[in-house]
Amino acid sequence: MTYALPVLVFVMVALATAQALRRAAWWRQGAAAEVAWGPGLLALPRRYLVDVHHVVARDAYASRMHAVVAGGLIVATVLAGLAILPSLGGSRLYWAIVALAFGVTAAGSLLVGARRYPAKPRRLSGGRFQILPFLLLAYALGGLAGALLLALGAASTPALIAALALSGVGGLGLAYEVRRGPMRHAVAGALHLVAHPRPGRFRSRLDTALAPLDLDAARLGAETPADFTWNRLLSYDSCIQCGRCETACPAFAAGQPLNPKRLIQDLVAGMTADEPPYAGSPYPNAREVDPPAAPLARLIGPDARIHPDTLWACTTCRACVEECPMMIEHVDAIVSLRRNETMEFARPPEKAADILSDLRGAGEPGGRALSARTDFAAGLDLPVISARGEADVLLWLGEGAYDLRYGRTLRALVRLMRDAGVDFAVLGAEERDTGDLARRLGDEATYQQLARANVETLGRYRFGRIVTADPHALHALRNEYRVFGGEWTVVHHTALLLELIEAGRLKPGVLGGLSVTYHDPCYLGRYNGETEAPRKVLDLIGASRVEMARSGRRSMCCGGGGGAPISDVAGDRRIPDIRMGQAIETGAAVVAVACPTCTAMLEGVTGVRPDVKDIAELLLASMELGA
């Protein structure tokens, strides 16, 4: 009977491998992808132990649980498998060590169970996940008992048989679950970390730019699961349905019909016909859909698996991506699906059609004259670069320049730059929209048209760097124009202001005691990792800074990104109302912002609430007080 346990392990591994291979056949339905296997394999331990752990550890219980149960499971299984070697299988000491490993696994299984029984948190999926602790416990307890008996020298007893049988039930159950159950995440997850579609995001680097689309491709964007690359299909299989994404999702919180977890599971379910039913939180307030039973069918539509409302409710804030312990790229999936809806089927959100048309025809989403972009500064004599050919700083104004409210921010910024003696100029009537909005609405063609035009315009002038107050423009100019030949140093205005203060070129005054909470723009914080400069400026002007529960890279979206205000998908509440509620909870008198979209969304909140002021406005106010 010494060999029973290793044999069980081999059978388990064989079964798991068979199940994984069955699943892999479906991944291979996906489009080809270039994967650097060698570096990926080499990087796996670090990606798992550092990058994944960094996310997992935000939930201390889950982190401990996983370390114990997964560590125990792997060590116990490997050790039990090694017992096939006669020298080890005969060693009672060895079996004692195996028993210890199974004991640890059993303890981990109890932690897994304790999280789900008597009641599980809402974000965790139920269904087959509820059986997982029992399978783990059976395998671990059986293994523990069997190894103990072998350590005590019992070679063949009914007790040992019973123990091995129990372990077999649990172990084979776990192996069987590799294709359709919770254990899929382990195999798919490990492979996913090796073959990750954004290898650049590991080692704490940012890789957030959308990949450009080949507009000559036979099919634009993803219509069915098979249109995703195989390694993205693999990544969706790595989902453990922990629901951290849904907790972070602003649309989900607002009761809009989006749940990132459910979305990923719908992509998974769309691959095969026999995926077990989804047992997590639904898309809130979703409309009925009538999904076809056949695999690899169309994903989006009232008669498909995912209603278009779900697709368009996303603000592209990346909160789900930031929270996902499996490093899944939800936003990439959303954008792929949107590209297909918009470009292949001409079904952007209803209100987006005119906006996209204006972006194409007028280079501006409101169809307004490009020369009117500088109207906000009438009387300020903005230097235009075409009149001078060069400047130290090219000030990119962005869409906010057309907005009455945001004009105040830009005027403050212009005054500050003047005060500091910055040599700057604007493009004036030559500045087009960056195309960020078109791109996030899936209209990659319009985006590329605008991107190329802007790159061409900027290429005609000499400037040291680009400064913008619009994080969406910053992201486009800094990260997404690169493939079109635009490589510049792009600086957010908060970083510039901090630099000017630190260089002594601006002398901030003191807003003594004014309590301020800073709202991180998604495209600055999460997309570009910049969270400190605005806070430092606030500290330097003597604001008493308080943080909202969600801040920095884990901040909550204002609801304004990704074209969501245009899609305007109904929910129970408005995202900016929720965010403003969080600001009100801090008791701050002012919500500091650093983005035209956040400004507009938060200013749109009615009722008694803190004032909404840009960092530039607050700095200028401090200087006016100080003067």
Q: Which positions lie near other proteins, rule CB under 8 A?
A: 372, 375-376, 378-380, 402-405, 407-408
Between 94 and 406, CB nearer to other proteins: 406
Between 198 and 405, CB nearer to other proteins: 405
Closest contact distance (angstroms) between CB of 409 and other proteins is 11
Closest to 521 measured CA to CA, from 584, 473, 482, 467: 473
Placement of tokens 């550092």 in the chain: 50
Angle between helices 92-116 and 132-151 (to 10 degrees): 160
Closest contact distance (angstroms) between CB of 359 and other proteins is 20
Closest contact distance (angstroms) between CB of 382 and other proteins is 11
Closest contact distance (angstroms) between CB of 408 and other proteins is 6
Query: Which two structure tokens, joined as six digits, stand for 510?
Result: 């003191």
DSSP notation for 200-249: GGSTT----PPPPP-TTSSS-S-SSGGGSBHHHHHHHHT-----HHHHH-
- Kindly list the distances between the CA atom of residue 407 and the CA atoms of 378, 399, 403, 404, 475, in Å, as whole numbers in the listed order: 11, 10, 6, 5, 21
Q: Is 466 helix (H, G, I), strand (E, B) or coil?
A: strand
Closest contact distance (angstroms) between CB of 378 and other proteins is 3
- Please give the helix or strand (H or E) that residue 559 lies within, else none: none
Cβ-based neighbours of 100, under 8 Å, separated by 6 or more: none
Closest contact distance (angstroms) between CB of 401 and other proteins is 11
Closest contact distance (angstroms) between CB of 375 and other proteins is 5
List residues bridging with 390 in a β-sheet: 462
Closest contact distance (angstroms) between CB of 473 and other proteins is 20
Placement of tokens 């204002």 in the chain: 558
Please name the residue ranges forming H helices in 152-208: 158-180, 184-194
Cα dihedral 8, 14, 16, 22 sign: negative
Q: Please, which contacts does 351-355 make with residues 24 or more away whose CB atoms are closer than 8 Å?
A: 351/566, 351/567, 351/568, 352/441, 352/563, 352/566, 352/567, 355/437, 355/441, 355/566
- Kindly list the distances between the CA atom of residue 133 and the CA atoms of 61, 122, 143, 185, in Å, as whole numbers in the listed order: 15, 17, 15, 15
User: Beta-carbon neighbour count of residue 109 at 10 Å?
Assistant: 27
Closest contact distance (angstroms) between CB of 366 and other proteins is 11
Closest to 579 measured CA to CA, from 541, 5, 561, 563: 561
Between 162 and 372, CB nearer to other proteins: 372
Between 376 and 488, CB nearer to other proteins: 376
Closest contact distance (angstroms) between CB of 507 and other proteins is 22
Between 82 and 625, CB nearer to other proteins: 625
- Kindly list the distances between the CA atom of residue 483 and the CA atoms of 128, 455, 479, in Å, as whole numbers in the listed order: 44, 10, 9
**Cis bond upstream, residue 118 (ω within 30):** yes
Between 50 and 380, CB nearer to other proteins: 380
Q: Is 437 helix (H, G, I), strand (E, B) or coil?
A: helix
Please name the residue ranges forming H helices in 254-403: 260-269, 308-312, 319-323, 330-339, 352-362, 385-388
Between 368 and 482, CB nearer to other proteins: 368
Closest contact distance (angstroms) between CB of 225 and other proteins is 46
Query: Which two structure tokens, joined as six digits, stand for 517?
Result: 């909470």
Between 170 and 407, CB nearer to other proteins: 407
Between 266 and 403, CB nearer to other proteins: 403
Closest contact distance (angstroms) between CB of 606 and other proteins is 11
Cβ-based neighbours of 216, under 8 Å, separated by 6 or more: none
Closest contact distance (angstroms) between CB of 620 and other proteins is 12
Between 411 and 554, CB nearer to other proteins: 411
CB 56 within 8 A of CB 329: no
